[in-house]
Structure 1
């Protein structure tokens, strides 16, 4: 097939602010643990990056309850930084 594109021919590199990534594929915030937990499903080296949960320099109280709600499509949470 002459119309097949070799993956090596596609440049997916992106720059977000001052951060340079090999591709734009990122995990959703806090869904990938330390990366090792999901290696049976995804090779972390193939991702552009892993998005960690938020952090702060000082402790914060977090959001008041209720902080988790079930929806038809899954769960939503707003724990906050605690």
Structure 2
């Protein structure tokens, strides 16, 4: 790995929706994701910005 590649960082994707701060803008679609527990084995729920129910 070159010296330049070792200094790469993930971009800051945080965003605000009104007073709510989200870690990233990735949200589930209401009605297709349940309460998230059904997908816990397939997706890391902590990486989502939020769950829409």
Give TM class, smaller chain. 0.7 to 0.9
Structure with the larger strand share: 1
- Matching of residues 45-64 of structure 1 within 5 Å: 45-52=46-53
DSSP 3-state at the match of 2:31:
coil
TM-score (norm 2): 0.76
Match of 1:6 in 2: 9
Q: Larger RCO: Structure 1 or Structure 2 (Cα < 8 Å, ≥ 6 residues apart)?
A: 2
Where in structure 1 are there 5+ consecutive unaligned residues? 53-82
Question: What CA RMSD, in Å, does the superposition of the two structures yield over aligned residues?
Answer: 1.6
Which has the larger helix fraction? 2
Cα deviations by residue, 1:9-40 (Å, 9 ceiling, x for unpaired):
x2111001221101100011121111110012
Moved over 4 A (4+): none
TM-score by length of 1: 0.53
For the pair shown, which has the larger CA radius of gyration, 1 or 2?
1
